[in-house]
Amino acid sequence: MWNFLSKLPANLSFIIITLGILSIVIIALRGRIKAKFGSKIIDLGKDDSSTVSLQQPSTVSLQSPKRTCSDCILLIMGEREKYELKFRKEKDRVLKTQMTFAEKKLIEIEILLMRKLCDKVTLSTFQHKAVYGLMKDALVSVKDEIRRSFKDNGFYDTSDIELNSYVKDQISFIMNLIYQYIQNINPDNRNIFDFDLVRDILRDNTSEVSSFISEIYENAKNVKLEIDNKIDNVKDEFGTWVDNFIK
């Protein structure tokens, strides 16, 4: 085809190509084109004029296509993912918030015991570091137990009386945990300092230490209930969104 066109005069080749392109455009827009040359009629494209309906602009319908079931499902799933992300953020915040408060109270216990000990005996720099290290290590074990009890969820739905009973049991367990930690210190270290004195300080200040531990568990329950309430609100928001969506 191109060899044939190339042999024609330049102007004639241009006219033929232009007419060809114009025919394609007209067919694309109207679907059909007729041309008469003498007794011959050239008819290009399909005759679907019977299906073409020209309406006045005032009667043209501009309604948007209706949603399909699959569209609705995708929209609901997308919205659900947004709300589930909110659920997870709130749930993850429970333990983090509880432990932040617990760690502050454990530091207060540490400061209390060190102050009481220093009021009772004079410690050298080396002894102070040794006792301070003991306190740190012992309270790390306590923190692990507190975190475990928070995850166990054994006291969130209890009454005040049941919570008090649970906290008393936890206080007893935590105090024994610290005593046991002190008792198991390597005997070689006892030449550095009489660590039994630390145990006596702890026993003499049981009431104050117990008060700190009680605050830890009371706060933990309040945090859990508060965030659970926020999670319920998020669920209600999603339910309302779904109700409005399907109307």
Regarding whether 40 and 110 lie in a shared domain, the answer is: no
Q: From first to last of the 247 residues of the chain, give the pLDDT tens digit.
A: 444 444 445 444 445 555 555 455 444 444 455 555 455 555 555 454 444 444 555 555 555 556 566 666 677 677 777 777 777 888 888 999 999 999 999 999 999 999 999 999 998 988 888 888 888 989 999 999 999 999 887 788 888 888 889 999 999 999 999 888 887 776 566 677 777 888 899 999 999 999 999 999 999 999 998 998 888 887 777 777 777 776 6
51 in a domain, yes or no? no
Regarding whether 213 and 118 lie in a shared domain, the answer is: yes
54 in a domain, yes or no? no
Regarding whether 153 and 97 lie in a shared domain, the answer is: yes
162 CB neighbour count, 10 Å cutoff:
12
Q: Is the pTM of this model over 0.75?
A: no
73 in a domain, yes or no? no
- Residues of the domain holding 154: 83-246
202 CB neighbour count, 10 Å cutoff:
21
Regarding whether 131 and 17 lie in a shared domain, the answer is: no
25 in a domain, yes or no? yes
| Tokens 């006596």 sit on residue | 200
Q: CA-CA distance, 222 to 163, in Å (whole number)?
A: 12
64 in a domain, yes or no? no
Regarding whether 34 and 155 lie in a shared domain, the answer is: no
178 in a domain, yes or no? yes
What is the per-residue pLDDT for 62? 52
Regarding whether 135 and 229 lie in a shared domain, the answer is: yes
Regarding whether 89 and 191 lie in a shared domain, the answer is: yes
Domain count, the chain: 2
What is the per-residue pLDDT for 116? 93
78 in a domain, yes or no? no
DSSP 8-state secondary structure symbol assigned to residue 192: T
Tokens of 103: 């760690």
Sequence-ordered alpha helix ranges (H) in the chain: 2-7, 10-30, 69-120, 125-152, 160-183, 196-204, 206-246
Regarding whether 123 and 34 lie in a shared domain, the answer is: no
197 in a domain, yes or no? yes
Residues 6+ apart with CB under 8 A from 101: 216, 219, 220, 223
Regarding whether 242 and 178 lie in a shared domain, the answer is: yes
